[in-house]
Structure 1
Amino acid sequence: MNRTTQSLIAAVAVLAAVTGFAAANVPGGSGDDGAKAAERLPVERTSLLCPVPSSSDLAETSYTAFTPKSKDSEEAGKAELLPATQALTEAASKGDDEAKKKAVKPFLTSKTPGKPVAGEESGAESPALIGTADGRLAPGWTVQQTTTYAAGSGRGVQGANCTAPDTDFWFPGASTAKDRSDYVHLTNPDDAAAVVDVELYGPDGRIKSEVGESIQVQPHGSVPVLLSTLIQKEQTNLTMHVSVRSGRVAAAVQSSDDKLGGDWLPASADPAGRVVLPGIPKDATSVRLVAFAPGSDDADVKVQLASPTGSISPAGHATLHVKSGMTTAVDLGDVTKGEAGSLVLTPTEDAVPVVAGLRVVRGKGADQETAFIPGTSVVGTRATVADNRAKGSTLSLVAPGKTAKVRVTASAGTEGGTPASRTYTVKGGTTLGIKPPAPAGLKGAYALTVEPLSGAEVYGSRMLEIPEDGVPGFTIQTLPDDRGTVSVPDSEQDLTVLQK
């Protein structure tokens, strides 16, 4: 018997032994056929990043963090917001977890689901924050950052949901106009540097800029990039694409206007054939729609306003043609006519993915303020928004298709209060604007969760009003699914792989 034959016999013997062992150790003692349906389980870890809130000495910033109560979550857990600092970077580079904890004191810590916590910062020295939540604090962990300015460019209210890191972002509605100062903030949560490209698209297509290529974002660092430094010509309406070559970042645009106040411009939902932009205030004096088709095909979309009584087409803007690779903008004026509404874009024929956003202005003359509404994802299983006050919160829910029923729950306050809940019906093709339930005996700020109970898809947003000296300060945050659960498919042993 030659050596090759002996090796072959030995290999077969090993395969038989491994196969026999595996067959004897199949879970449940049976070789059940087929994979089971995926199960939704609570996430075990959540990461969020908050951008630098302001460079103004007049800024006052509040942070509110909240995790909804969830079934089947871990018993233990903690959520912390840490400043993005060089000390943290140096500790991380040495792989010294103990030094990392000692290097930076947490700015905000959550220990109990269902109870929001809050913190405040003043002036221009507030850093970007890097947050992590694990165990029972991870499912649906949400952080809201709200900044108020008494004067200066961007004065009013600027609010942002702290966001998870990713590798691709679209921002329809950015600008380098004379009165605008738009900064894209890039924050890196990881121990290695990230490399980022920033591309700008105007009404004539992509605007070439070498300055926006290969931007380095250091570990646990945050970089603000002024968009007007990337291109030479002023552009009123732009779409910005942030793509990450290596690593990952959180990206958000801070927009300040010399006359119209300002706000954070969040990233749009991923390109899709249908885009929903929920929660245009009933007293909006000016609404601008900015749309972009990132693919190789032009897009033709139907424009409809979902009002409290039904869907209508805005006068003179029933359809919109969006050329591939070119930013399209249209001014809709006071499209809501005294009633809260939502804009719904749907394909007229073939579905071509688009991204879209709204710039919304309230007030008149010198007392105007701005907020942005990006195209958003469906509420899904549950959506959460923090930092609601005793006065000034308005919830907008829209069901673009059929009628839906939802439950809205107000948490306890940061300083006291008893949770409250109420069920609402959103008729198909309409927007329901409501003053949400507030906790009994409320002290401090509270969080809202929205849970669809039956019916079709629901989209939503929350407007927070903080008026001051005649300026209708406000900010709008959309309500995508809070990603409190993840789909985990059932896996089983497949012995056939040992025979291939």
Structure 2
Amino acid sequence: MNRTTLSLIAGATALAAVTGFATLKTPDAAADHTAGAAARLPVERTSLLCPQPSTSDIADTAYTSFTPVAEGAGDRGKAELQAATAESDGSTVGKKSGGKAAKPVVRPKEPGKPATGDTSGAQTPALVGIAEGKFAPGWTVQETTDVAVGTGRGLLGTNCTAPDTEFWFPGASTAEDRSDYVHLTNPDDSAAVVDIDLYGKDGKLKSSVADGITVQPHASEPILLSTLAGDPQTNLTVHVTVRSGRVGAAVQALDDKIGGDWLAASTDPAGTLVLPGIPKDATSVRLVAFAPGDTDADLKVRLASPTGLITPAGSETLHVKAGMTSAVDLGDVTRGEAGSLVLTPTDSSVPVVAALRVVRGKGDKQETAFIPATAPVSARATAADNSAKGSTLAVTAPGEGAKIKVTASAGSARGTAVTKTFTIKGGTTQNVEAPVPSGLKGTYALTVEPVSGGPVYASRMLASTQDGVPGFTVQTLPDDRGTVAVPEAEQDLSVLLKQ
């Protein structure tokens, strides 16, 4: 045995003594070892970003924080939301200024029970949130705003989102009756540089001010889309890409006549998309789609109703030209029944993104919400800020039927958790009678967990009628990212013995 090998063995032995769990093996033993399958373990840290809720002086905003109870998450941790109050250097475009204020009081005390807080007026800033330890797995924060009058009046809601580097928003607009803002929030200690591309019916819109937008550290920038383009466009797709850093992004769509809501990002471009939870009393539904690549997409349009998949008369297919935004008005496509839109390729699969603009009510009593295409619930999805009345949970199984478990958490003030199971037939959408905590006082959270069968997609609608206006907002329920795959591994210091 040469001196180099002896030195390596001595070093390995010393390292094993320090780490306490390292295993020293011969090369032959290491070669015979086969790593086990990846295990899913609770995440230990979650970041969420909440956009500035409103610039209306009469806006009332409620925040609801909830973390499901997760096995193996430990007994320590914390969650907090802080105001994104860093001063801008003035480099942003079309910023709608607002004052700065202290963060709303939302102090989660324990997983399994919602924590709530509220604020009012135009001074509420965007929020940056971090959850660690037992509060991290599946941490969900809902921001719900009620605006009584004015542009975008109605009920506006959004799930606070994780930071990322790319977002697609089909369904935005720069029409004369719309004021759409893309909100960019930077959670990090260094500035983020962002590009915003707008695509209309004829392709990419020319703009000299949409590239290289700087978002300062721990700051949020609302950018008016009409300042980035020329002529008004009724249907737009917004593409946000981050050159450096990361941001949270959401589009606030405000209409002068038919209310407004938050437009969340569509799921990643895919050949097949599901847009779940169209209200059964929708009076107008518009589908907006975009094909990011160089190939046109031809889509089969079907509605998953309570009885099965049906094809809307006159809207059997949609042709989406590459690099262009396409839209089709589907009218009152649900005809008084729960429904979800399912888009599949007619021939070859071409990745697309899509969203629905949904209107309830008639005349001057109309209100708007948006439903983007979403990912299926893989392990568990969570929706916070539910009440005994006014919450509707829609679940669709576009292919094979499925069984799901739905749990209503404890109430924020009082109430005991309740769980029910439901069977969703293949090709259908069901507005399930979600459980309500016994003895409820306050709000509660809903979690949806697949038990068996095929993929399921879900959304939750909140509704509140004021002065005859059917205010509502819809949040899709992708997986809540409560767990992460961790391959089974074992320290092996035998590599130090190899020549």
Same fold (TM over 0.5): yes
Q: Does residue 1:60 correspond to 2:60, yes or no?
A: yes
| Partner amino acid, structure 2, of 1:58 | I
CA 1:182–1:259: 2 relative to 1, 3 Å: same
Q: Deviations over 1:304-346 (max 9, x none)?
A: 1000000011111111111111111111011101111000111
> Using the alignment, how far apart are the partners of 2:157 and 2:496 within structure 1?
52
Q: For the Cα contact (< 8 Å) 1:380–1:452, is it kept in 2?
A: yes
Q: For the Cα contact (< 8 Å) 1:274–1:344, is it kept in 2?
A: yes
The TM-score with structure 1 as length reference comes to 0.92
> Which residue of the partner structure matches residue 456 of structure 2?
458
> Which residue of the partner structure matches residue 172 of structure 2?
174
> Using the alignment, how far apart are the partners of 2:363 and 2:454 within structure 1?
41
> Which residue of the partner structure matches residue 95 of structure 2?
none
Q: Superposed, which structure 2 residues align to 1:294-373 within 5 Å? A: 294-373=292-371
> Using the alignment, how far apart are the partners of 1:401 and 1:353 within structure 2?
19
> Using the alignment, how far apart are the partners of 1:159 and 1:333 within structure 2?
24
CA 1:498–1:194: 2 relative to 1, 3 Å: farther
CA 1:83–1:21: 2 relative to 1, 3 Å: closer
State the SS of the aligned residue for 1:342: strand
State the SS of the aligned residue for 1:433: strand
Q: Deviations over 1:153-180 (max 9, x none)?
A: 1011000000000000000001000100
Q: For the Cα contact (< 8 Å) 1:255–1:265, is it kept in 2?
A: yes
Superposed displacement of residue 266, structure 1: 0.2
Q: For the Cα contact (< 8 Å) 1:83–1:107, is it kept in 2?
A: no
> Using the alignment, how far apart are the partners of 1:16 and 1:424 within structure 2?
59
> Which residue of the partner structure matches residue 392 of structure 2?
394
Superposed displacement of residue 21, structure 1: 7.8
Q: Deviations over 1:326-370 (max 9, x none)?
A: 111111011101111000111122211110000000000000000
State the SS of the aligned residue for 1:228: helix
Moved more, 216-225 or 203-212: 203-212
> Using the alignment, how far apart are the partners of 2:337 and 2:344 within structure 1?
22
Aligned equivalent of 1:126, options 124, 136, 139: 124
Listed as ranges, the gaps of 5+ residues in structure 2 are: 90-100
Q: Does residue 1:80 correspond to 2:77, yes or no?
A: no
CA 1:498–1:293: 2 relative to 1, 3 Å: farther
CA 1:494–1:207: 2 relative to 1, 3 Å: farther
> Which residue of the partner structure matches residue 403 of structure 1?
401
Moved more, 438-447 or 180-189: 438-447
> Which residue of the partner structure matches residue 162 of structure 1?
160
CA 1:417–1:299: 2 relative to 1, 3 Å: same
**CA RMSD of the aligned region, Å?**
2.2
> Which residue of the partner structure matches residue 191 of structure 1?
189
Superposed displacement of residue 421, structure 1: 1.3
> Which residue of the partner structure matches residue 280 of structure 2?
282
Superposed displacement of residue 18, structure 1: 5.7
State the SS of the aligned residue for 1:119: strand
Q: Deviations over 1:82-120 (max 9, x none)?
A: 111239x9xxxxxxxxxxxxx977732212000101001
Superposed displacement of residue 35, structure 1: 2.3
Q: Deviations over 1:272-327 (max 9, x none)?
A: 11100000011100000001111121111111100000001111111111111111
Superposed displacement of residue 491, structure 1: 2.5
State the SS of the aligned residue for 1:338: coil
| Partner amino acid, structure 1, of 2:247 | V
Aligned equivalent of 2:381, options 383, 390, 412: 383
Q: For the Cα contact (< 8 Å) 1:187–1:217, is it kept in 2?
A: yes
State the SS of the aligned residue for 1:109: coil
Aligned equivalent of 1:273, options 243, 260, 271: 271
Q: What is the aligned-residue identity percentage? A: 66
CA 1:17–1:370: 2 relative to 1, 3 Å: same
> Which residue of the partner structure matches residue 108 of structure 1?
106
> Using the alignment, how far apart are the partners of 1:338 and 1:497 within structure 2?
69
CA 1:359–1:340: 2 relative to 1, 3 Å: same
The TM-score with structure 2 as length reference comes to 0.92
> Which residue of the partner structure matches residue 33 of structure 2?
33
Q: For the Cα contact (< 8 Å) 1:193–1:219, is it kept in 2?
A: yes
Q: Superposed, which structure 2 residues align to 1:209-220 within 5 Å? A: 209-220=207-218
Q: Does residue 1:478 correspond to 2:438, yes or no?
A: no
| Partner amino acid, structure 2, of 1:206 | K
> Which residue of the partner structure matches residue 207 of structure 1?
205
> Using the alignment, how far apart are the partners of 2:367 and 2:384 within structure 1?
22
> Using the alignment, how far apart are the partners of 2:346 and 2:110 within structure 1?
48
> Using the alignment, how far apart are the partners of 1:283 and 1:77 within structure 2?
43
Q: For the Cα contact (< 8 Å) 2:169–2:238, is it kept in 1?
A: yes
Moved more, 380-389 or 25-34: 25-34
Q: For the Cα contact (< 8 Å) 2:12–2:24, is it kept in 1?
A: no
> Using the alignment, how far apart are the partners of 1:476 and 1:266 within structure 2?
10
For these two proteins, the number of residue pairs brought into alignment is 479
> Using the alignment, how far apart are the partners of 1:47 and 1:418 within structure 2?
28
Q: Does residue 1:230 correspond to 2:228, yes or no?
A: yes
| Partner amino acid, structure 2, of 1:333 | G
Q: Deviations over 1:2-30 (max 9, x none)?
A: xxxxxxx7656645666788999864965
Moved more, 313-322 or 121-130: 313-322
Listed as ranges, the gaps of 5+ residues in structure 1 are: 1-8, 90-102
